Amino acid sequence: MNRELLINRTINNISLLPDWRLKEISDYVDFLLKTHDDKKITEGIMKLTSKSKSFDFLNQEEDIYDESDLIEKF
């Protein structure tokens, strides 16, 4: 089913609903848009941080602790 057909079908179905349901649909669509935007923002942040060189200095640090320092091993 293509996008335009799906949108038209959804609009037709919404027009058949009682008024009190329209608020619920509007709230749900707002929620979907917000989660979609949040996901895009999170993906953008992850991409930026993965390319960042901010913590590269940690790769040059020697390990202070190793496995022999553990009291208990799980």
What confidence tens digit (pLDDT) does each residue in 41-68 have? 999 999 988 888 888 888 888 888 888 8
* pLDDT band at residue 39 using 50, 70 and 90 as cut-offs: very high
Question: Domain segments of the chain: what residues?
Answer: 19-53
30-62 residues labelled b (16+ CB within 10 A) or e (exposed): eeeeeeeeeeeeeeeeeeeeeeeeeeeeeeeee
